[in-house]
Structure 1
Amino acid sequence: MTLQKPDFIIEPLNPAIHRRDEFDCGVPALNDFLRTRARKEMDAGTSACFVIVPKSDPGMIAGYYTLSAATVVRTALPEALTKKLPRYEELPSTLLGRLARDIRFKGQNIGELLMASMLRRSVAASQEVASWAVVTDPKDEKARQFYASFGFQSLTTDRMFLPMKQAAGWINAR
């Protein structure tokens, strides 16, 4: 798998350039978030939104993801993972809040490109501001399987996690 096709660019959401109203991933909540809340959350400093756009039409959004800071409760982790960790009650993590691909781009590996970008960005940021893992809350079983294909494991019934060391390993293997 190629990590970034040369015909797409991944960049921060810019409402002056990116046409949010055209985006349709088939999930109303994810469409509405991009259209009405993504910019507000960026302005408030509660999440960062990144979009993938075709080089041929840099205003068209093919997909997006959001990142923010979070924590993982140490007691929720498998004991085998916590043996070598500091005894903090909560561990710093990076939250992959949303990830969506426009239905017009189905079959073009947009989800994989977004995941690769998110993992690279998360690993790089964790070297500046500590983050032990990436966490996400899959919307359904299909999303859960997608995240599992990148090495994410169940943390709770609603949350999955990928230790940052594994994320770095995934990046280095590509």
Structure 2
Amino acid sequence: MSGTRWLDQHEQEHWRAYLRGSRLLERALVEDLAPMNVQLTEYELLSMLSESPGQRTRMSRLADDIIQSRSRVTHTAARLEKRGWVERCRSSDDGRGVEISLTDAGRAAIADLAAVHVESVRRHLVDALTPEQFAALGDAMAALRDQMAPQHHEIGLDD
């Protein structure tokens, strides 16, 4: 292990701050959605689906977009389907894949949930940073995304 590039003190401090800060942020976002009986993963699926063309997309594409396994997305979709917020059906493109679409009840739910979630993101992240820090965070996360998953550019953010 003589070739190991250990973190220096400042790198270690930044790394630990990132770990702790990201975990605390996720906990806060989860807790703010909890009174609505919605998990953060459920909200993320609904949100991404609401932004998809026709509010419909392939399950495999959705799994890639939200960086979750197809199995986990299937389980999340099943919970949301029981609530009447989404529907699953055969792909309109080729009939082989499975698509998921937002229902009218899902559209109503995401409207209510989005207000809670956006306020939570604003309170716990956006307002806690200066505009320059928030922009730097976005740039840093985009650099990580581009290195680790270059095919995953969110529509509209990189155009």
Q: Which has more strand, going by share of residues?
A: 1
TM-score of the two chains, using structure 1 as the length reference: 0.27
Q: Which has more helix, going by share of residues?
A: 2
TM-score of the two chains, using structure 2 as the length reference: 0.29
